[in-house]
Structure 1
Amino acid sequence: MFRYHKKIAVILMLALLLGSMLGTVGCGQKSVQKVLKIGVVGPESGGGAQLGQGQRKAIQMAVDEINANKGAGEWKLEVFFEDDEGNPTKSASATNKLLQQSQANVIIGAIHSSATLADMVVTSRAGIPQITAGSTGASITEQNNKWIFRTAVNDEFQANALVKYAKEVLGIKKMATFTAADDYGQSGAKLLAAAAQKYGVELVATPTYNNGDKDFKPQLLTIKEKGAQGIFMWGLYTEAALIAKQAQQLDVKAQLFGASGMAALKLIELGGDAVQGLILTQTFLPDSNDEKVKEFVQKYKSKYNENPIPHAAQAYDTVYIIADAVKRANSNKPDALRDAIAKTAGLKLVTGEPKFNDKGDDIGKRLLITTIKGDKFELVKAVMTNE
């Protein structure tokens, strides 16, 4: 009888233990976190390092905020960063690494347009949505690629806005383009030429340069001889600063213009007196009175002890667009996530109220025409991209 009762006791203990284990597993299954993995590609070293570092800081800040405030609902955001040095080959390799090793559900990148064009091949083949918060090259959204979106302002709109302002406000009748020889620069050169024709400005010179060049005097002398009243640069801040300095040395009187690719405080630091009065486009100014901008700047400065650059603001907004999309889709599957991003509406973010057209361009952006005064950029005129 004793053995019988002992066996019953053992059976009951095993049953209780098994029930406890099953309950633990069940609870574990109920608490499994829904995860969205974000891969980020950008230049954290090299000539565009300030742009890539600003992008990284803003993205990390946005991810931390969203997770803390459950801004993506039940979804937790995880972020993985890769440095592409602004090199298209390295960028495509970094993108592939994020997809294969990190299992990223969505890619933010890159900043250099040539790098984004390379990355798009990888993400399109994999069927993974990609948003570039920094690349402005017009060709990016002209390829019928349903997987690409952009939260930077298309170069075509920037070129038209700059040339129109130069003609109608400053009275410039003769202009020259001075552009990088890469995809970004040459796309800009074509768009500037088209804008010059559209607004009746004579294009008198179209020299180019290679990234990393140090001597721009031969091209500047040609521009000076042709009588250009405005020089429209299309490249990044390092070369733009050198061009401005050498133009000053050669006593070139033409007004200098630039696009958002050079909109970094490093331009002012490197260019000094030579870049004072330079007019360029961007989507963000830290001194804005807009409440969303003030809140973002305060948080960014508190965290990093510096003002955010436009590329940071655009990247920050991009994470919030992704968080909103995964919350609405309630899925990290590529098609569901892509469709949710495409239907973005009703968000009021730092750089505008995002809305994507059929090509993937954000047409809810504010484009700012700014000028350099002292150690900062000042607003000249704001233009909406949907006008």
Structure 2
Amino acid sequence: MLSKTNTFTLSTVIAFAFSGAALAQEQIVKLAQVGPTTGPIAYVGKDLQNGANMAIEELNTKGITIGGKKIKFVLLTEDDAGDPKQGTAVAQKLVDQKVQGVIGHLQSGTSIPASKIYYDAGIPQISPGTTNPKYTQQGYNTTFRVVANDGQLAGALGRYAVQTLHAKKIAVIDDRTAYGQGLAQEFTKRAKAAGATIVATQYTNDKATDFSAILTSIKAKKPDVIFFGGLDAGAGPMLRQMKQLGIKAKMMGGDAICTTQLPKLAGDGLADDQVICAEAGGVQDAGRPALDAFKTAFKARYGHDVVIYAPYAYDALMTMVEAMQKANSTDPKVYLPALAKISHKGVTGTIAFDGHGDMKNATLTMYTYKGGQRTIIGVTK
């Protein structure tokens, strides 16, 4: 006859045996998120990281089962510093770690060179912020984005400049990054097609904060609009210096200047309605409650508002996992075809890709700033 002690011991052994079997059925799935968490736009990269992390936390709370196994998602985060060389080094590191999918990179200059490395390894990559058309025009079936591209974004800005602002003379400045240069070139093309004259084309770099020489040259051309292909870290000081030089032109730009941080960076250089910018994404009225709910949850989780890309990183990761569920596999080779055909209802709208990995029916949100706050003008396609 077993003693009470022996009975407890046997019960414990049986319990551990069942526990071990359960643990054996749990599968770790490693997903990566990459963006600039050091450098001038580190806060934007952190926003991206926080959005992806919210998705991971939600998925692990729900308890997802794929292929008969309970999945535990692990997020590997890497800093590419917005630098192409560091971006490719990080990409190779993640390939070596055998990640099963990548959310990133943020900037075109890092996403484009890294995409070749992921493609060669057969690892799906969804960027939450890359807008340069080249990113999805390389023939890589592993490459996707959840935002509009520069052609779509620049088209909307070019039309707005001419048709709504009635701009006749436009000066263009770009920061020579893949993002800034690509956006400026597309905008120039679209603004000319709409009837505007480009009176000046100037170049800077993404680390610059002194634009006085460029702006002094531009001032003599008396432009109605200055288009800046660059980041908010450059747009802020540029707006202050425009005010100092008495330049009355409006500034236009893409999603990288269209952040909640711009008023802080520009200070008293930002007047009401002076900046018109477009974010590569956005929801119509019917979809706004879901996005608003995400923003509320984000603020409760992190103690501050979304900067810009967190919802897109969240949607990118959720889209990737839904593809795994549809394919009933976490193997990149198996779930990749499901990802290409996905239609995921996200907080930023419906995520569905064309044959290149671009968004079908991509939306754009036009913004201005009033009283130091980013204000929606409207959502367009």
Q: What TM-score do the two structures reach when normalised by structure 2?
A: 0.89
The alignment status of 1:99 with 2:95, answered yes or no, reads: yes
The alignment status of 1:355 with 2:352, answered yes or no, reads: yes
Change (3 A) 1:247 1:47: same
Aligned mates of 1:263, 1:75 — CA distance in 2: 37
For residue 29 of structure 2, give the secondary structure of its aligned residue in structure 1.
strand
The alignment status of 1:369 with 2:366, answered yes or no, reads: yes
For residue 321 of structure 2, give the secondary structure of its aligned residue in structure 1.
helix
The alignment status of 1:78 with 2:67, answered yes or no, reads: no
Aligned mates of 2:108, 2:229 — CA distance in 1: 12
Given that 2:270 and 2:372 are in contact with CA atoms closer than 8 Å, whether structure 1 keeps it comes out as no
Aligned mates of 2:233, 2:286 — CA distance in 1: 26
Given that 1:50 and 1:264 are in contact with CA atoms closer than 8 Å, whether structure 2 keeps it comes out as no
Match of 1:194 among 172, 189, 192: 189
Aligned mates of 1:337, 1:224 — CA distance in 2: 54
Aligned mates of 1:284, 1:157 — CA distance in 2: 13
The alignment status of 1:112 with 2:112, answered yes or no, reads: no
Residue equivalent to 2:59: 66
Given that 1:284 and 1:309 are in contact with CA atoms closer than 8 Å, whether structure 2 keeps it comes out as no
Match of 2:245 among 225, 246, 250: 250
By how many angstroms is 1:256 displaced? 0.6
For residue 227 of structure 1, give the secondary structure of its aligned residue in structure 2.
coil
By how many angstroms is 1:180 displaced? 0.8
The alignment status of 1:221 with 2:216, answered yes or no, reads: yes
Given that 1:72 and 1:323 are in contact with CA atoms closer than 8 Å, whether structure 2 keeps it comes out as no
Given that 1:370 and 1:377 are in contact with CA atoms closer than 8 Å, whether structure 2 keeps it comes out as yes
Given that 1:45 and 1:83 are in contact with CA atoms closer than 8 Å, whether structure 2 keeps it comes out as yes
Match of 2:45 among 16, 31, 52: 52
By how many angstroms is 1:72 displaced? 6.4
* Bigger mean CA deviation after superposition, 41-50 or 192-201: 192-201
Match of 1:121 among 104, 116, 122: 116
Residue equivalent to 1:332: 330
By how many angstroms is 1:71 displaced? 5.3
Letter paired with 1:152: V
The alignment status of 1:309 with 2:307, answered yes or no, reads: yes
Q: What TM-score do the two structures reach when normalised by structure 1?
A: 0.88
Change (3 A) 1:369 1:71: farther
| Correspondences of 1:119-268 after superposition (within 5 Å) | 119-268=114-263
Residue equivalent to 1:11: none
Aligned mates of 2:354, 2:172 — CA distance in 1: 29
Change (3 A) 1:357 1:125: same
By how many angstroms is 1:30 displaced? 8.3
Unaligned runs of 5+ in 2: 1-9
Change (3 A) 1:371 1:72: farther
Aligned mates of 2:61, 2:290 — CA distance in 1: 19
By how many angstroms is 1:139 displaced? 1.3
By how many angstroms is 1:289 displaced? 8.0
By how many angstroms is 1:150 displaced? 0.5
Match of 2:380 among 359, 383, 386: 383
Aligned mates of 1:259, 1:72 — CA distance in 2: 40
By how many angstroms is 1:326 displaced? 0.8
Given that 1:71 and 1:323 are in contact with CA atoms closer than 8 Å, whether structure 2 keeps it comes out as no
Q: Deviations over 1:347-386 (max 9, x none)?
A: 32221111111111112443100001123211112113xx
Letter paired with 2:50: K
Unaligned runs of 5+ in 1: 1-16
Letter paired with 2:367: T
By how many angstroms is 1:97 displaced? 1.1
Aligned mates of 2:294, 2:232 — CA distance in 1: 24
For residue 256 of structure 2, give the secondary structure of its aligned residue in structure 1.
helix
Aligned length: 362
Give the % identical residues.
Answer: 29
Given that 1:236 and 1:261 are in contact with CA atoms closer than 8 Å, whether structure 2 keeps it comes out as yes
Residue equivalent to 1:35: 28
* Bigger mean CA deviation after superposition, 26-35 or 151-160: 26-35
Change (3 A) 1:183 1:72: farther
